[in-house]
Chain A
Amino acid sequence: MSLVLRRWETLLAVLLALFVALGTALSPYFLDTQNFSDLADDLMEKAIMALPLALVIIAGEIDLSVESMLGLSSALLGLSFGLGLPLWAGIPLVLLVGALGGLLNGLLVTWARLPSLVVTLGTLALYRGLAYVVLGPRAVSHWPAAFNAFGFGDVPGTLVPWPLLVFALLAIVFAFVLHRTWIGRQLYATGKSQEAARFAGVRVARLKTALFVLSGTLSALAGVILTARLASARADNGQGFVLDVVTAVLLGGVNIFGGEGTIAGVVLAVFVIGVLRNALTLADVAPDAQSTAIGALLIVSVAGPNVVGRIRAAWRNREVLT
C-alpha cells in the first residue's frame, strides 16, 4: 500500500517541477524570491484547511463547509473588533465558534447519522449565510499593525511568511499524528471499514466528531489569517476556496472513499496548485478563469489513474485471450 502512495507522491513532485518550468517559461519574474513569498501568501489559508479535511476524508466523511466557516470567522472577528473587543479576546472567541460549528457538523453526522455530504452542503450555506447576517455587506478595516504584520509579513530575519510557518508546523504535527500514532491508525481503520473499527473498540463517533471540530477550528484560524493578510474582514472572505482545498486533498492522493492518503501528498498537492495559479496569474489569466485549470486538475487527478487502470486491465485481458 505504501509503495503505491510513494509512486503517487513522485508523480506530484514531477507535476510540481513541470508547473515550475511552465511558470518560468511564462514569465521572467517567476523565480523571484518575492514571487515565491507571494505564492505562499495566496495559498496558506487553503493549505491550512486542507490538512484537517484530509483527515476527515480519510475517515470516510467530507466537509464542504470549510470555506463558509472561514467567512463566518472573518465576519465575527470584524464584528467583535469593530465593537471594541481586543484581538487577544476576539481571536480565541472566533476559534471557539469554529470549533462549535465543527461540532454541529460532527453531531449531525455521528449522532443524527446524516450523510456528511448533505450536512456540510447545508452548513456551507448556513455558515455563509450567518456570516452575512453578522457583518452584512460591509468590510472592517483598520487593524492593528501587528495583526497585519502577522498576515502579510515574514518571520523576522527570514523570507518565510508567518502563515507559511503556521502551515509548516501544522503539517508536521498532522503528519506525525496520522502516520505514527494510534489515532492515525484508528483513522485509517475507520475509513476502510467503519464496522470493523467499531467492533475493535474504536470510538468512531468520538473520532469523527473530533475531526469535524478540528476542521471547523482550523477553518476559523484560516479566517483569522486571511483577515490579517487582506487587512479586511468581510462576510464573503474565502468564497470559492472549497474547490482548491478539496482539490489539494484529492490531488494529494487521498482516496475520496476513505482509508488512504498521506500528508506529504497533500502538502505537495497544495504547492502544485499554488504554483499553477501563480504561473497563470503571471500569464494574465484572471483568478476566476484559473479555476478552470484547477477544476480540470481535480478531474484528471481522479479520472487519470482510473482510466489508466482500465486500459491496463483491458490490455491484460487481450493477452489472455490470444
Chain B
Amino acid sequence: MTSASRALAVAARLRELGIVVALALVVLVTTLLAPAFLHLDNLSQILLSVSLVAIVAAGETIVVLTRNVDLSVGSMVGLVAFVTGDLLKQHAVGLPEAILAGCLLGLALGGLNGLIVTVGRVPAIVATLGTLNVYRGLDFFVAGGKEVSAYDLPRSYLGIATSTAAGIPALIIAAAVIAAVVAFVLRSTRPGRALYAIGSNPPAAETVGIPSQRLVFAAFAASGLLCGAAGVLWGSRFGTVNAFAANGLELEVIAAVVVGGVNIFGGSGTVFGAMLGAVLLGTIDNALTLLRLSQFWLQAIDGAVILLAVGADASIRGAVQRALRVRGRR
C-alpha cells in the first residue's frame, strides 16, 4: 500500500476509535460525578432511548451514503406514530395490521421523498425540508389537536417496547437486529455497495451501469420504512402520542450519523459508526440529566458535537492531503 493509502486507512480506524474514546471519557467523568450512571437500569434507559434514534439513524445513513440527506425523518416518525396509535384507538384494525400499516405508511412517505428527489430532481435538502413540513402538517391535520393516550391503546401494543427477551428489552433487540440487517446489506450486497459508489462519484456510477435513480429512490424509501418501524415502536414506548411527537428528531439523527463518521458528502461511513454516534449522544443526554445540568444544554451540545465531529473529519482529511503532497515527490 502506498503511504497515502495507509494514512487513509489509519484515519478511518482512528475515527471510530475516537468515538469510543469520547464515549469512554463521558462514561468515566459521569460515573465519577454520579455513580448511579453505571447502574444497569440506567444503562438500559440509555439504550432504550437510543434505540429509536438508532433505527432512524440506520435509515438516514443509507440516504447520506448516496450524497443525499433526509430531514423529514422526525415528521415521518411522528406521523406514523400517531396514525398507528389512532388506528388502534379506533379499534379499526388488529395489532399486526396496525404495525404493517405503520410500516407501509413510512415506506410510502419515504417513497414520496424519493420521487421528489429523483423524478423532480429537487436537491435532497430542499425536498426533505419541504416534506418535513408537509408530513408534520399532515400530522396536525390528522390529529386535529387531539392526542392518543396510553389508555386508548391495547396492552399488547404497549407491551412491545417493554417486553424483554433474555432480560434485554425487545426494543433494543429490534434496533440491534435492524442495524445488523442494514449493515449487512450495505457491506455485502451489490445494491448496498452501489449506494457507496453513487455517493463517491455519481457520474462514474452511471457509467458503470448502476441504476442510480432507482437506488436513490430505494434509499429514501428504506429510510421511510425504517422511520415507519420507529414510529410504530415510538407509540409503543411512549404510549401518549400527539402531533408533536418526534419533533426535531432529525437533528438528533443527523448528529448521530455525522458524529459516527458517515461522510455528509456520501461514499463512506458505516451503520456501526452511526450507532456509536447515537450511543455517544444518548449517553451525553443521560449524563446531563444525572448531573442535574439543565436539559437546555442538550441542544447546544448536539450542535457543538456536530461541529466538532465534522471539524475533526476535515482536519484529518487535510492532514492526509498534506502528507500526500510532501511524500508525493517520486
- Mark A residues whose CB is within 8 Å of B: 62, 108, 112-115, 117-119, 121-130, 132-133, 136, 235, 242-243, 246-247, 250, 256-257, 286, 288-296, 298-299, 302-303, 306-307, 310
Interface size class of B (residues with CB under 8 A): 35 or more
Could you list 18 examples of A-B contacts with CB < 8 Å?
A108-B307, A115-B265, A118-B258, A118-B306, A126-B300, A128-B300, A128-B303, A129-B298, A136-B294, A242-B129, A288-B140, A289-B140, A290-B137, A291-B133, A295-B130, A298-B126, A302-B127, A306-B122
B151 at the interface (CB under 8 A from A): no
Q: B111-138 interface mask toward A, CB cutoff 8 Å, 1 = contact, 0 = none?
A: 0000010011111011101111110111
Among A108, A133, A296, contact of B130 (Cβ-Cβ < 8 Å): A296
Q: Is B302 a contact partner of A125 (Cβ separation < 8 A)?
A: yes
A288-B140, A299-B130 known; A129-B258 Cβ under 8 A: no
Residues on the B chain within 8 Å of A123, using CB: 303, 307
B contacts with A: majority SS: helix
What 1/0 flags go to B169-208 for Cβ under 8 Å of A? 0000000000000000000000000000000000000000
Given contacts A133-B294, A290-B137, whether A125 and B306 have CB atoms under 8 Å apart is yes
Q: How far is the CB of B9 from chain A (nearest CB, A)?
A: 23
Number of A-B contacts (CB under 8 A): 149
Contact A129 B125 (CB under 8 A): no
User: What chain A residues lie within 8 Å of B264 (beta carbons)?
Assistant: 115, 117-118
Which residue of the partner chain B has the closest CB to A297? B130
Q: Mark B302-320, 1 if CB is under 8 A from A, else 0.
A: 1111110011001100100
The reply on B210 being an interface residue by CB < 8 A is no
Establish whether residues B132 and A295, one from each chain, have CB atoms under 8 Å apart when the complex forms. yes
- B241-278 interface with A by 8 A CB criterion: 243, 251, 254-255, 258, 264-265
B contact residues around A108 at 8 Å (CB): 307, 311
Nearest-CB residue, chain A, relative to B313: A114
Closest CB-CB distance, A103 to chain B, in whole Å?
14
Given contacts A243-B129, A288-B243, contact A129 B300 (CB under 8 A): yes
Task: Assess whether B129 is in contact with A129, with CB atoms less than 8 Å apart.
Answer: no
> Which residues of chain B are near A289, meaning CB under 8 Å?
137, 140-141
